[in-house]
Structure 1
């Protein structure tokens, strides 16, 4: 049986860069602060003021990115809505808990509690778009997005769906940032992310092809090499066909150096790209990493700001980019993106 081919038909982001566009590729916004909240678009272009009053900030972002890719791809009712979120609607959770403490469990507003659960995001998108299909939320810290994407790929390979709206959404409140900083977990900078992808089996007008994904728990370097080889073989590629590797190093030398060492063992001298210095670190940052790689393949251009080493040669017309992610040196992910231009 032929393997079902999957394409990214549309994708967009709301982050600390200019929202809902790719201006960051030419004119990225640089930050010196350690904690940054997302730049928000005019939500009134997507959500009525009355509806916007009833939903939280992260829900507005998730709904806006989702509606944008739905419009761009012309897929009004995707066969699946699959979301990855590490913290869910943490701002609503904090609001409810603070009210409960200050008001002694009396006269509490129900809305923050109702909207504090992780699956509120996927549910809101489904209700707003009147899509009554497969709807799942994954919450596994830094690999939440990868788990959502893996589920989507399984549904495609089983030929159960022809389209999927896959999202990665997280917010970061000041109080949660302080907790992360105390335990040494925060990145540089720490930020927020909301990114949506419309995946379909339609190649025409697609951004790029999603070649496959591997998620591994506490693998040895040998297992990582075997998984990488299998992913390449399944797509008829060799290691030399990979034009670049994009990874989530975040400016923390304690975690960056081991990641770079593993990268060198897996990929040798293949050019290394990074993205967290532009988009910040969060539980949903890997979604922005894949978004960055998709932008490079769509526009056939790798911005100079993505190169980890300034001495790297410019990559012309990239065809294959590998995303390599790791979480706490326990969970690793490999995601292959291939250009769909002229193939």
Structure 2
């Protein structure tokens, strides 16, 4: 296959999913929404997710990803609060959407009526991370009261986002507040909220043996994305020894391999991105260029599998590497592979120039 490419080991991914869903469900009765945006909901991986018994819902932030995987059998959850311009497609292609604005919810209600459907929603509550969600307690109850008056909207639960923006780590007290909201709403409005979505991969550390924090019993759903694909919880970045951290590998190809100075010759201005770079003069070095760049991936978000190699920098389409410590082991046309993180996984799958290669 042509380079650059991202290699996906579907067997390792399946093992990650099986371990973590069992780990979650062994602790308490929790449904799992598998977040698919990191790999752009690629159909090859969606097929795997759709056939995993431990996964209950498919979640994504992009409506386009649901449209291209319309045939998937599991219920689909839109985890980014919808735009007004998406309302028609949300009702058509999504089973449950996360919401925080009553005006959008009213539009969803109007569209659901047109399509002859009842659209299910989770109301998002902001518990301090300061991304989406209703912040003031009384505003939560006011909005719930308005929702209850809508004929084509079913409020099925509450959700909270933590760590993604404000990096606030979930705690038992924070998530108990979400459960308390649920109890108050059920009592005040005589409704049943079956899905209390207590965060993402950063909440699973509370299911461990070596933590003082415990996931409140009232939490009934978790949204798992990064933990499946990278094999770690995201509150503290701890790897699970039972999981694979190398499901995804980025592979590129050397297009130039020459001995050159390490410091540019001439006056240094700004680069193609408006930044003024700094350089360290290390004398002559074996410099290699591989065929990938900032248009595809952030060079600070990847690490060469060969620890002897050091990334120097990149431009739009070229990644420059110091091969000095391994100069005799590479040549033009050889492949170079990289470990990737969540951000680089996201960008590589978004880039149409990075091919996708699956190991089954």
Q: TM-score, normalised by structure 2?
A: 0.30
Higher strand share: 2
Q: TM-score, normalised by structure 1?
A: 0.31
Point out which structure has higher relative CO (alpha carbons under 8 A, 6+ apart). 1
Work out which of the two has the higher radius of gyration on C-alpha atoms and give 1 or 2.
2
